[in-house]
Amino acid sequence: MAYKFVDNYREKGARKQLVELLKSRGIQDKEVLRAIGKVPRHYFFDETFWGQAYKDIAFPIGQGQTISQPYTVAYQTELLQIKPGNKVLEIGTGSGYQACILLELGADLYTVERQERLYERTRKVLPHMGYRPHFFLGDGSLGIPQHAPFDKIIVTAGAPFVPELMLKQLRIGGVLVIPVGNEKEQKMVTVIRAGENEYDKIELDTFRFVPLLGDQAW
Ligand code: SAM
């Protein structure tokens, strides 16, 4: 895919409209909306498809994977309540768009992808846009124990259950956001680590993600 980093009036205008659409769909967090308004989502698309970049849709990024729908990105990010300096783990780097949103909010981001071609592509492209997370290649269903604990963990693929290993990598008071369900649909689940062995779990709306594949996954 040929990347072109040009952000002209048409894309800027489309991005503003996307922010208004997300507001009308219930996204309220001003910082999340600011980040969506800032990150050029068309940079993650071949120029031929720039017309699709600010529609509220998921879109193929190769290797059978997708860049998540903007509403889903905003919804998960809002749940995470990122504060500047939070140490955040993202499982499923994919295109890197969600990673840029988290970095815009001031996260110290660790992001892991299991598909080598996506990992290589994102690792090259994001620094060109000025975004520098810590990149990892591997099975994110195991978390990244050597860098734990994390303030926040976000899983951007659908899991069959909440992996115990991830919970153990949350700081006390930390939050995990993970879609859990079957191959067709998942409920968004948030888990707050309230104490050493105490977890508060809330089930929210239904989404459809590509599967989380790995040792503690499908
Ligand atoms: N956050 C991404 C974005 O902004 O484009 C969303 C990408 S897509 C919906 C989910 C990603 O999770 C895919 O790139 C897929 O390869 C990856 N994935 C699936 N299972 C994984 C695992 N066990 N570890 C790391 N990445 C995984």
Q: How far is the CA of 153 from the centre of ligand 1 (A)?
A: 13
The model's confidence at residue 1, banded by pLDDT at 50, 70 and 90, is low
Phi, psi angle pair for 190, to nearest 5°: -115, 140
Q: Taking the CB of residue 117, how many other CB atoms lie within 10 A of it?
A: 11
Query: pLDDT tens digits, residue range 68-99?
Result: 999 999 999 999 999 999 999 999 999 999 99
Ligand 1 binding pocket includes 154 (Cβ within 6 Å): no
Q: Dig out the tokens for 213 from the structure.
A: 């594949």
Q: How far is the CA of 9 from the centre of ligand 1 (A)?
A: 31
Pairing of strands 108-113, 134-137: parallel
pLDDT at 2: 66
pLDDT at 3: 74
Domain ranges across the chain: 57-207
pLDDT at 64: 87
The CATH fold assigned to 57-207 is Rossmann fold (3.40.50)
Ligand 1 binding pocket includes 144 (Cβ within 6 Å): no
Query: pLDDT tens digits, residue range 14-68?
Result: 999 999 999 999 999 999 999 999 999 999 999 999 999 999 999 998 888 899 9
Give the Cα separation of 64 and 206 in Å (integer): 22
> What integer is the mean pLDDT of 119-131?
96
The angle at the Cα of 109, spanning 210 to 120, to the nearest 5 degrees, equals 60
pLDDT at 61: 86
Q: Taking the CB of residue 145, how many other CB atoms lie within 10 A of it?
A: 10
Q: What is the pTM of this model?
A: 0.98
Among residues of the chain, what percentage have pLDDT more than 90? 95
